[in-house]
Amino acid sequence: MEFKKVRWPSKGELWGLTIAVITASIILAIFTGVIDTIFYRLVHLILP
């Protein structure tokens, strides 16, 4: 079976990867929010 060939992550690896994904998601959300705010203000300066 294929499941016998799979190397499942340890609990420590799983927590580390989970924290990495959550951190990356938060950073991406903040970056997207900042870019959105910049473009919003820029458009409202050009088109009052």
The secondary structure of residue 10, as a DSSP letter, is: P
The predicted pLDDT at position 14 comes to 97
How is the chain split into domains, by residue range? 11-47
Mean pLDDT, rounded, for 13-40:
98
Residue 20 has pLDDT above 90, yes or no: yes
Give residues with Cβ within 8 angstroms of 9, minimum separation 6.
Answer: 17
- Give percent of the chain with pLDDT exceeding 70: 98
Mean pLDDT, rounded, for 34-38:
99
